[in-house]
Amino acid sequence: MQYEDFSKRLVPEAINFTVQSLLLLSSSSYTNAKSIPGSFPVPDIDIIGSKLHFKLKKAKNIAPGHPRLFDIVNETLTGEQPKLDLLCTALELIRRFSEVYKPLDGFIELFSPIVDILQHLIVNKLPTSVHDRLSQSIDHLSRLLKFAKQARKPLFLQAHKPIPIATYIPKFDAHSSSYMRNRDPDADRAALAKLKAQHKKEKKGAIRELRKDNRFLASVQQEKQDAKDREYKARMSKAFASLESERAEQKKEEKAKMREKRRAGKKK
């Protein structure tokens, strides 16, 4: 049991053995193996079940305890005491199995037949402690099954958005379609829309004219600036030309003086 709890894995053989032990140790209202609910294999209940049932006169005053499994297997311990201990142990194991396997998706299908089997066990003539343990086990399993049914949700297909059907009908909008806007049945609204359209048209025309004027003024201003630049360039060219001619005359005079000095030195 500890290993099953640690591994979180379902071991159906353990549950089948426990349910089979309950049916073999205690009397029930089932007449044969075919009438037992669920899929628990109990092939020999008709053969050896009656041999393992309690002798009610001897078992009535026995208190349940911990089973001595080694002695029971070796058949050194017989009588009603080991049967009663095994029955109470099986009920406790069923309760612990329910706690371990309650997170499983198939918990309802697994333990619903077990609750039905526990309800059909006949323990009225057994000690009161056995009857109390059986009632507690049934209540515990019924409560877990109730919670499991409330938490279960049906399966759904994957949440894909539905593929829209292709449509080729043109979309008309009263605000963006001139055709729909011009055929408004409301006269006041149509007149207001006409004024808005006229205002919008006049505004666009005014903006267009202002842009033309700005472009014309910019071109005139550019022409004036180009004329000033040409005039300035002409003046500067004339000034540079006069300076160059004056510089050339100056260099010519300096060369003439140098020649005269060289001639005067040679005569001496």
Tens of pLDDT, residues 3-49 = 666 776 788 888 888 888 888 777 777 777 777 777 766 655 554 45
Task: Please tell me the distance from the alpha carbon of residue 144 to that of residue 111, in angstroms, as a whole number.
Answer: 9
What's the pLDDT score for residue 217? 93
Weakest-pLDDT range from 162-171, 202-211, 226-235: 162-171
Comparing 184 with 45, the larger pLDDT belongs to 184
For 175-202, what is the mean pLDDT? Answer: 76
Percent of the chain with pLDDT over 90: 16
pLDDT of residue 102: 85
Measured CA to CA, the distance from residue 96 to residue 103 in angstroms comes to 13
- Average pLDDT of the chain? 78
If one compares 42 and 256, the residue with the highest pLDDT of the two is 256
CA–CA separation, 202 and 200 (whole Å):
6
Give the pLDDT score at 15.
Answer: 83
Are 136 and 98 in contact, with CB atoms under 8 Å apart?
A: no
Residue 258's Cβ-side half-sphere holds a number of Cα atoms within 13 Å equal to 6
The predicted pLDDT at position 257 comes to 85
| Confidence at residue 259, expressed as pLDDT on a 0 to 100 scale | 84
Q: What is the pTM assigned to this prediction?
A: 0.50
Question: Is the pLDDT assigned to residue 105 strictly greater than 70?
Answer: yes
CA angle 182, 183, 186 (to 5 degrees): 105
The reported pLDDT for the residue numbered 47 is 47
